[in-house]
Structure 1
Amino acid sequence: MNYFNFKEIISVTLILFSVIDIVGSVPVIVNLRKKTGHVQSEKATLVAGGIMFAFLFVGNRILGLFGVDVSSFAVAGGLIIFLIGMEMVLGRNIFHHEDLEASSASIVPIAFPLIAGAGTMTTLISLRAAYEIQNIVVGVVLNLIFIYLVLKSSGYIEQKLGKGGLEVMRKVFGIILLAIAIKLIKDNFFLVHQLS
């Protein structure tokens, strides 16, 4: 029995990386930094991580209160991931809100909803239907490390990639998300059908 599955860890990490889209959010972070003068990278990362882990471990119980099984939620999650992918490819803003305020800027909107927003929470529960919990935890931790690094060096990243580079990266990850969403819906739709 393999406790950690490298393939699953890579898959989970890439899925979360695409959904969180922290690189695509660099322009928002840079704009926030210009308005407030400072972004607390450590605080934003820790709060986002707390939200993500809480939803990862308690999400099933929340679903249980509403009488919803994980496979049904995975299909719903797949639809949301599909919409996020469409948003990234078409350049439409559905889930990201840019209501930027100087007070508590590291928490709102960076930690929530920019990092640990509706799409991330839905994805975490959807991943539980397809991957082992320990591999998801490693994937979350790897993303949090990357998020921290991006927050710390957002100005440098923007300068190096440029607006065009960020846009290309966003569209590429959008296409990857669309493919992941279709697979997630396909794999769990039949399970929902069998349970009903």
Structure 2
Amino acid sequence: MQTSFISATVLLILITDPLGNIPLFISALKQVKPERRKKVVYRECLIAFLVLLTFMFFGRNFLDVMHLTDQSMQVAGGVILFLIALKMIFPSEGGSVFGSDKMHGEPFIVPIAIPLIAGPSAMATVLLMSTREPSRMLEWIGALTICMLVTTVVFLFSGRLQKLLGEQAITALERLMGLVLTAISIEMLLGGVASYIRQFH
């Protein structure tokens, strides 16, 4: 499956799911003073960006060290995206992926940068993109940059967006994103299987 710059950007935005993460993000910042929140948003988004960029640049080395093939990574990425998509469509009770909504003090790296933004699915996706087509690294960096800018803007205006859209609209958008992500994950999974089978023909 040939991935375009636009589809890669959309995929990363769907995976990081900034709109769906608004309630969790607001909960994480409850103990933070309002005047500090902008700085926290910028810091956490920058950390997440650097983490994903590291996975993007050193993904090939990681696969070589672990003796993993591109096909196995593609299938694994498809499975992870499928599970994430299912959680977006059918969220568990409580809705928090961290096990608890109670945050104490100012969050640093965990849980906002990791795993809220740079979660396992986002790490697997950027690693997969860079290892499959390393010649297009500039495009992947651009797609990741746009994704992080969108996430930053959404988090900066999270309070207003929650009031404007309401809980039901945000939930509906997350379900829709989950549905699209399900189709993408199946396509990725089938592409990995097909590529693996072609090796024996």
- Give your verdict on TM over 0.5: yes
- Contact 2:32–2:106 (8 Å) recurs in 1: no
Distance 2:115 2:83 in 1: 16
Partner in structure 1 of residue 42 of structure 2: 42
Number of aligned positions between the proteins: 191
Q: Which residue of 2 aligns with 1:108?
A: 110
Structure 2 residue corresponding to 1:18, chosen from 10, 14, 21: 14
How far has the Cα of 1:33 moved from its partner? 1.9
The partner residue of 2:186 within 182, 187, 193 is 182
Structure 2 CA distance, aligned partners of 1:21 and 1:153? 15
Relative distance call for 1:195 and 1:96 in structure 2 (3 A) is farther
Unmatched 5+ residue regions in structure 2? none
Counterpart mapping for 1:5-154 below 5 A: 8-37=4-33, 38-39=36-37, 40-92=40-92, 96-97=97-98, 99=100, 101-128=103-130, 129=132, 132-154=136-158
Contact 1:84 1:95 in 2 (8 A): no
State the Cα deviation string for residues 83-117 of structure 1 (Å, max 9, x = none): 11111111138993255543450421101110001
For 1:192 and 1:103, the matched residues in 2 are separated by 48
Deviates more, 1:186-195 or 1:143-152: 186-195
**When the two structures are superposed, what TM-score results if normalisation uses the length of structure 1?**
0.88
| Cα distance per residue 1:106-150 (max 9 Å; x no partner) | 421101110001111011122332683222111100011111111
Q: 1:156 aligns with which of 146, 157, 160?
A: 160
- 1:41 and 1:23 map into 2 onto residues whose CA distance is 15
Kindly tell me: are residues 130 and 159 of structure 1, through their superposed partners in 2, closer, same or farther at Cα, counting changes over 3 Å?
A: farther
1:15-69 Cα shifts (integer Å, max 9, x gaps): 1111111110000111122233343111011100000000011122111111001
Give the superposed CA RMSD: 2.3
Q: Give the distance between the partners of 2:54 and 2:145, measured in 1 at CA.
A: 13
Q: Give the 3 Å change call, closer, same or farther, for CA 122–95 of structure 1 in structure 2.
A: farther
What TM-score do you get using the length of structure 2 for normalisation?
Answer: 0.86
